[in-house]
Amino acid sequence: MLYRKFPKIPNVQVSVLGLGLMRLPTKPEDSSIDYEKTKEIVSLSLEHGINYFDTAWPYHGGTSEVVFGKIVKEFGVRDKIYIADKLPIWDVDSKEKARSIFKTQLERLQTDYIDFYLLHALSKSHWEKVKKLDLLSLLDELKDAGKIRHLGFSFHDTPDVFEKIIDEYPAAEFCQVQYNYIDGDVQGATKNIEYAAERNIGTIVMEPLRGGLLATPPKGIIDIFSHAEKPRMPAEWGLRWVLENQEVVCALSGMSTAEQVIMNCAAVSNAKPNSMPLRQLKIVERAVEWFKQRIMVSCTSCRYCMPCPKNVDIPSIFSEWNRMAMTGALENGPAVSAIYNKIQKDGHGAELCVVCRKCESLCPQKIKIADKLAEAKKAFKS
């Protein structure tokens, strides 16, 4: 495993691959986290040198923090790893509520401090809320007390908002942005990383494989990559492209199987910055163009929009819509999908949407979900 440092935190070395705890393996009968499988994933991660683990208040309905805290205690590795957690701004209406949430997070994680603490999913409105509620003074207080080691934020908005937050939050030591070879320009990711670097703020990357899409891409992408002189697994192309950027400290991957951990750790074993030849970068550019011509909706299946009050399975519908578009199934118009038929049969189809748009304020990608569901519905034949 390779390690990198944050400009403002030179005494900390973080693995270039971090384990995101948002997509842990679940039990089929009730969708609860599968403890034994998760324990295996964490064990393999540690064995392969991963030392950065990222969770959050809403992940798996709050149980991600609980399960991970239990595993860390069972393994006795608290002093050997870095835990990242986040303050859910949308759930906070006072400084006291934020303090209570943080206290609960410590209890869930069974720890007395959090290494990297982020203001979660900052946007223009969330940043204004942070300032209005004077949450920064609370974070400073918790840091002074040793309960937080390093402060940062994750981000979903436009570059001008990103720059405003960076300029108004001098205590920030790191940031977290969505960045992958498809989304280099989404939310100004490349520009944001550069702006942060100019101010000595290191970047953690989320969605380096775009919710797994870049790890298991369609045949068209595999065909493009087959022209490279050196064979690589699709996940390696994705992770290497992200870590090619010298300003990226760590790429978070939501690995949900032991095989993914082994594969991704191998993929980053030589992921040094500025190490990909130009001819390989050109191949990635071809892959980007292929995707951009076919993706119907920029959903990463993060599930922040769920649960839907009408039980619409938004991520699964969008995933199937994209899959069919990328396999050419929709080239001649609407098509039959066995997967979508099952979604409908289970009572989660797009036709149940009542356009309440509650989900849209929660979507990090700013997708007009109700409008896209209406489009998706037309793409599927019964």
Average pLDDT of 135-163?
97
Beta strand segments in 188-318, E: 202-206, 248-253
pTM of the model: 0.90
- Specify the residue for token string 């280099």: 184
Instruction: Give the pLDDT confidence score for residue 329 in this predicted structure.
Output: 87
Q: How far is CA 160 from the centre of its chain?
A: 22
Instruction: Give the pLDDT confidence score for residue 226 in this predicted structure.
Output: 96
Instruction: Give the pLDDT confidence score for residue 187 in this predicted structure.
Output: 78
Which positions ≥6 away from 361 have C-beta within 8 Å?
Answer: none
Task: Give the residue from 83, 116, 122, 117 showing the smallest Cα distance to 101.
Answer: 117
**Distance between CA 16 and CA 243 in Å, rounded?**
8
Topology of 3-293 in CATH? Answer: TIM Barrel (3.20.20)
Label residue 121 exposed, middle or buried (CB < 10 Å: 0-12, 13-18, 19+): buried
**Distance between CA 141 and CA 144 in Å, rounded?**
5
Average pLDDT of 251-258?
97
Strands 248-253 and 17-20 turn out to be: parallel
CA dihedral 151, 66, 26, 379 (to 10 degrees): -40
Cis, bond preceding 307 (omega within 30 deg of 0): yes
67-121: pLDDT as tens digits: 999 999 999 999 999 999 999 999 999 999 999 999 999 999 999 999 999 999 9
Domain parsing of the chain, residue ranges: 3-293, 314-381
Residue 203 · residue 175 · CB < 8 Å: yes
Q: What DSSP letter does each residue of 245-265 carry, written as one string? A: STTEEEEEE---SHHHHHHHH
pLDDT at 126 over 90: yes
- Angle 278-294/314-326 helices, nearest 10 degrees? 110
338-369: pLDDT as tens digits: 999 999 999 999 999 999 999 999 998 899 99
157-174: pLDDT as tens digits: 999 999 999 999 999 999
Backbone angles phi, psi at 288, to 5 degrees: -60, -45
